[in-house]
Amino acid sequence: MTTPNGPTALRRIIAAELRRLRMASDLTQRQAAEQTGIDPSAMARYEGGVSSMSNPVAEKVFAVYGVDAERNAELLDLVKRSRKRRPKGEERAVVWEPVEDLIALERDASIIREVAIQPMPGMIQTERYARAILGRGKLGADVVEDHVQARLSRATIVTGDGHVEYWVVLHEAALRCAVGGAETMRDQLAHLAELSKRPNITIQVLPDSAGAHPALSGPFKLLRFPIAPEYGIVYLDYLTGADYLDEPEEVAQYDDAYLHLIKMALSEQASLAFIKKLSKELYS
């Protein structure tokens, strides 16, 4: 089982950084094309995330923009990975197809912000909870198991070396939805309590008593990247697919919504107490 390379997702990040570097150099797109000897239409495709650059072309561009050696190496690695394709005959990763780009983005992110109504976000699910969620359909046992292991592998993005800052707002509904029964939920809520001790993970609960809130239209995930600090992506999923929003104006609206939600939610300490209290009341 392999992790998707997500070339389309990586091109989005590169495109954003190309635009930022060009503007920081006070060049128009046409001027940048002239100085690098790149066809203007090709430059537009690179900055639009439509086409992948070769590394020699990327080196020309970064030289014109005055990128230092360390950052140049980081960007060239990203450029190389953006061209990578799954070898012919190689098995696809066992994940829901619309989430393949998300996996690549999560692995390159430095900050992940998430709002969940129900169920629990995949990144903080226990194995038993994930199995209960994924086994509710018509998939065979072997396929369910592959999906469970793929989900647990994704969780290491935030539970591994801690390089990703993960902040989640959990609606009370996620805590009350008895996925898998009392024992599964008791373990899941204990898992949340343990995760909350990690320095890179913040868990806040949005109680029912908060009333109307900015996520009434649905959950969402915000991602930021060290390689392109001014760039952000909002991920939204639904029954039959997923959307990726990266227009700055749209991302800013979700940023504002998230800031509003963390103000409405219980503090970290109060959230932990709430989780423990609810576990005792509902699942002991």
Are residue 104 and residue 58 in the same domain, yes or no?
Answer: no
pLDDT over 90 (residue 65): yes
Are residue 279 and residue 168 in the same domain, yes or no?
Answer: yes
Are residue 156 and residue 27 in the same domain, yes or no?
Answer: no
**pLDDT score of 138:** 57
Q: What is the CATH number of the domain that holds 78?
A: 1.10.260.40
Determine contact, residues 42/51, Cβ cutoff 8 Å. Answer: yes
Q: Output the DSSP codes for 123-159.
A: GG--HHHHHHHHTTSS--HHHHHHHHHHHHHHHHHHH
**pLDDT score of 99:** 72
Are residue 266 and residue 200 in the same domain, yes or no?
Answer: yes
Q: How confident is the model at residue 108 (pLDDT cuts 50, 70, 90)?
A: confident
| Residue 88 falls inside a structural domain | no
Q: How confident is the model at residue 282 (pLDDT cuts 50, 70, 90)?
A: very high
Q: What is each CA distance from 6 to 28, 52, 79, 131, in whole angstroms?
A: 29, 12, 12, 26
**pLDDT score of 209:** 93
| Residue 257 falls inside a structural domain | yes
| Residue 30 falls inside a structural domain | yes
Determine contact, residues 203/192, Cβ cutoff 8 Å. Answer: yes
Determine contact, residues 119/21, Cβ cutoff 8 Å. Answer: no
pLDDT over 50 (residue 100): yes
Are residue 24 and residue 153 in the same domain, yes or no?
Answer: no
**pLDDT score of 97:** 59
CA distance linking residue 118 with residue 7, whole number of Å: 30
CA distance linking residue 165 with residue 158, whole number of Å: 7
Q: What is the pLDDT of residues 235-271, one digit of tens each?
A: 998 877 888 888 889 999 999 999 999 999 999 999 9
Instruction: Choose the final residue of a domain: 53, 82, 111.
Output: 82
CA distance linking residue 162 with residue 274, whole number of Å: 25
Q: What is the pLDDT of residues 145-186, one digit of tens each?
A: 877 888 888 888 888 877 899 999 999 999 999 999 999 999
| Residue 243 falls inside a structural domain | yes
Note the pTM of the prediction, 2 decimals. Answer: 0.82
Give the residue numbers spanning the domain of 35.
7-82
User: What is the tally of structural domains in the chain?
Assistant: 2
Q: What is the CATH number of the domain that holds 120?
A: 3.30.870
Are residue 113 and residue 225 in the same domain, yes or no?
Answer: yes
Q: What is the pLDDT of residues 115-148, one digit of tens each?
A: 999 899 999 999 999 999 887 665 666 777 877 8
